[in-house]
Amino acid sequence: MSTPLILFCALLLDALLGEPAWAWARWPHPAVLMGRLIGWADTRFNQGGLRRLKGVLLVFALIVTGWLAGGLIAAFGWLPQLVVAAILLAQKSLIDHVRAVADGLRMSLPQGRRAVARIVGRDTKGIEVPAVARAAIESAAENASDGVVAPAFWFLIGGLPAMLIYKLINTADSMIGHRTPRHAQFGWAAARMDDLLNLLPARLTALLLALLSGCLNNWPQIAQDARLHRSPNAGWPEAAMARALHVALSGPRAYHGEMQPLAWIHPKGSRSPGPAEIDSACARLWQLWAALLALCLLLWLIGAIL
């Protein structure tokens, strides 16, 4: 089975099953195993001198690990590749978590706060409905790139080994790629490599969102807004989602009790989003998923013809 067709089936399987609790109650999720590996490396090597060099070596080791593990699994045929790829995609679980915020807000503001606190790192205590909705929509946009488009992109480029490398580096970035006294040096290489691996997928996500929502003519404004974001990549899908939903995203928010004066993305959009806008964001994510399916079929047909 060709790589695009394997990915097509993996996207369908992930959308159908998501993250079945019965499976991960019995066996550790691959993301959990990745996290344990990186956590062990952080505890073992993030000490003493030469921390940046140690972080570079860790990234190299993760790349080798992903390549070897992916190659080993691929040697057993297309079915194991399909299953692992479906597990590493996050379409259904992402939408379930984002939609839970809208459902929570419809019940009460505290319920919405609790739901959004599960998917964002900012302070959520005391924030109002628009801030809860913005947080959910921003998470939907960013994770559509990190959790769906980027893994799919790298699977198409280099098969399961490339997908595993991406997931390992992305997990490392989320765990150690922070500008804190502990991780500024050791996590530097993981953060930079994650930026590199997400460079094209983030922009592809933004392009597809803009195309599917009919706001491709606003691409110059989307690009301008994206550059206001503190992340070199996350701003792109967020800026496209903001235009698609006609809402303002980002803006000031608190982390660890300190307000951060972040710029607004699409500042002319509505600053009072609510559950309906979160639902619309989820609908956009399903459109994005359908576009990926269509792209896989197109690539498969081209390969079959050639």
For the stretch 58-79, pLDDT in tens is 999 999 999 999 999 999 999 9
For the stretch 23-36, pLDDT in tens is 777 888 888 999 99
| pLDDT at residue number 121 | 84
| pLDDT at residue number 23 | 74
For the stretch 259-277, pLDDT in tens is 888 889 999 999 999 999 9
Q: Is the pLDDT of residue 21 over 80?
A: no
Side chain identity at 248, as an amino acid letter?
A
Q: What are the start-end ranges of the E strands in the chain?
A: 249-250, 253-255, 258-260, 264-265
Specify the higher pLDDT residue, 21 or 103.
103
Give domain limits for the chain. 3-305
Q: How far apart are CA 221 and CA 144, in angstroms?
A: 21
Read off the tokens for 257. Answer: 């009790």
In 3D space, the residue among 175, 164, 203 whose CA is nearest the CA of residue 71 turns out to be 164
Mean pLDDT calculated for residue range 103-127: 92
For the stretch 218-248, pLDDT in tens is 999 999 999 998 889 999 999 999 999 999 9
Global pTM reads: 0.94
Q: How far apart are CA 276 and CA 240, in angstroms?
A: 18
Q: How far apart are CA 149 and CA 91, in angstroms?
A: 9
Mean pLDDT lowest for which of 1-10, 18-27, 57-66? 18-27
| pLDDT at residue number 26 | 81
For the stretch 121-168, pLDDT in tens is 888 888 999 999 999 999 999 999 999 999 999 999 999 999 999 999
**How many DSSP H helices and E strands does the chain contain?**
13, 4
Mean pLDDT calculated for residue range 35-40: 95
For the stretch 165-215, pLDDT in tens is 999 999 999 999 988 889 999 999 999 999 999 999 999 999 999 999 999
